[in-house]
Structure 1
Amino acid sequence: MMLHRLFLILCLWLASPAWAVPAMWQVGQGKRQITLYGTIHALPKGTDWLTPQAAQAFNRAGTLVVEIAGPSDPAAMRAVVMELGRLPTPVPLASRLPDELKPKADALLKAAGLPVGALDGMESWLAALTLVQIEVARAGLDPAAGVDVALIARARAAGKRLIGLETARGQLALFDSLPEADQRLLLASAIADAGKTVEQMQGLVAAWGAGDVDRILKDFDDASLSPELEKRLFHDRNAAWANWVQAALKRPGRKFMAVGAAHMAGPHSLIAMLQARGIPVKRVQ
């Protein structure tokens, strides 16, 4: 179940309703207002998610704020991945896994058309993400249809200012800096959960499309996520984004802030952190 959160972080989804009404909030007022919008970064083509109310908020904003202000150059991105995720000396993947998962790991690689040692040169976190991406690719998901990609294209076409809260290198570094024990926990989870992706994600995507934040929290309240991984992927990033929102509200300008939907749910969410600082947050969709 831990892989649920990893999928949301990577925004790799396998199904979506034809018409979606994702959750949306507003903070501030007048000319100092920020719309907060929970996103999914990859969707099947044809998903209709930009409601009239969301479109109006986006059109009124002079700035779009996203996690990463891409799209990144593919060659440059591959270079970063290779720099951060390659081991100086290959380590057999099997040696990093519990005995009961070794046969399934071999089967997954074989099904993907990869030799058994294909991931031996990768750090454990990159091997885990690679296995996740293989599963998603088999599901026919199109990252080019994601919410962020569409919003960034709209913002550039309209001449809006574009702000990235993080960089691709910074996001990958979150995984790269994890202790090896946590990286192997990710790797084991990626293998153990392989094959369950479609069923698990369909319910979560339905919750996103319905704007059901309570359901997202329930499905992603995962005790198997290590405290360190939880802290780095969610708590620390949410706190940094809350700092950004608090500072941005002191300056004139309407902004549309679109970040992963998992960051909007729960007691340590971006929404909850803003409210804890005394900043009123109004649900508007």
Structure 2
Amino acid sequence: MKIIPAIALLLTSLFTGHAKAQQPASEKSLLWEVSGNGLDKPSYIYGTIHLICESDFRITDKVKKAFDKSSQLVLEADIFSPEIKNEVQQEMMSDVPLSKKLAASDYAAIDSILKLKCGMPLKVLDNYKLSMVMSLVAIKLFPCTAPQSYEAAFDKMAKEKNMHKAALEEVIAQLKLLNKAYTDSQIIAQVKSFDSAQAGTNTMVALYKAEDINGLFKYMTTPDLMDENTIKWMLVERNNDWAEKMPAMMKKESNFFAVGAAHLPGPIGILALLKAKGYTVKPIMN
């Protein structure tokens, strides 16, 4: 149960389409500086991929420098707080057992995939929501046994530095949004498409390593797998909420914001929203 919050963060960056986008080389960066508009010190926004294999995991020198200049780490949610365990478990429980909720054919298909990919039968998760099933299957999309977490790495770095820590939203609120964003039929379809999703994960990682945040945004908002409702709850609502909270944090001190890379670009992204508020937002290339 300790890994459930981290799994929840993972969901917006998996089970996505295969579209690619081109982006000017000058803007291919995961790290952005926010300054001006009355700020005494700049803050930084880093786009994460919530899980990635160790062989692809890296924290570059430019990221380390920005982190060292910051006095507060801000994550999407405080996924490392031990106090949330019971609340998270309760939120992931279903009112109706999956064995009664799903059509027999869907139950059999998901049970088969779960046994093959996760080594467990669906009956073990019978009292959980389908989003829990999707979470466990999603981890198996990576070609490694123990994917790394940027959030965990930054949390460790913050502790070593005795750095302030904060969050943009509550874990429980995040899980509630997750369950609003994806219908059962969407989750069933995505779990069934495991093989194609696994291939797509390789594309996502390649885009991430290239720091192509626009490419990631296009990839993750493919209409067949992320409809208007999903985009509304997972991106639009959250981005606007965060963009309202960030100015007060930045006014107080220099922050290192670490959020999913898909939240940064595009007209609905936090970079554009902060620019609209009068801040200078620029990529850090090296």
Pairwise TM-score range, normalised by the shorter structure: 0.7 to 0.9
Deviation at 1:81, TM superposition (A): 3.7
Kept in 2, the 8 Å contact 1:22–1:49? The answer is no
Give distance in 2, aligned partners of 1:283 and 1:37.
10
Deviation at 1:244, TM superposition (A): 1.8
Kept in 2, the 8 Å contact 1:128–1:186? The answer is no
Residues 1:121 and 1:69: Cα distance change in structure 2 (over 3 Å): closer
Deviation at 1:11, TM superposition (A): 5.3
Deviation at 1:241, TM superposition (A): 1.2
Aligned twin of 1:278? 278
Give distance in 1, aligned partners of 2:41 and 2:234.
29
TM-score, scaled to structure 2: 0.79
Aligned twin of 1:162? 165
Give distance in 2, aligned partners of 1:149 and 1:277.
31
Kept in 2, the 8 Å contact 1:124–1:184? The answer is yes
Give distance in 1, aligned partners of 2:57 and 2:134.
31
Question: Could you list the per-position Cα deviations for residues 35-74 of structure 1 after superposition, in whole angstroms to 9, with x for gaps in the alignment?
Answer: 111012222225452222221111111111111234233x
Q: 1:61 aligns with which of 49, 70, 82?
A: 70
Aligned residues: 262
Kept in 2, the 8 Å contact 1:9–1:260? The answer is no
Aligned twin of 1:16? none
1:96-245 pair list within 5 angstroms = 96=102, 101=106, 104-111=109-116, 112-133=118-139, 135-136=140-141, 139-143=143-147, 145-176=148-179, 178=180, 182-224=182-224, 225-245=226-246
- The root-mean-square deviation of aligned C-alpha atoms, in Å, is 2.9
Aligned twin of 1:25? 32
TM-score, scaled to structure 1: 0.79
Kept in 2, the 8 Å contact 1:265–1:271? The answer is yes
Aligned twin of 2:24? none
Identity %: 23
Give distance in 1, aligned partners of 2:263 and 2:269.
5
Structure 1: which 5+ runs fail to align?
1-5, 14-20
Residues 1:153 and 1:235: Cα distance change in structure 2 (over 3 Å): same
Structure 2: which 5+ runs fail to align?
1-7, 16-27
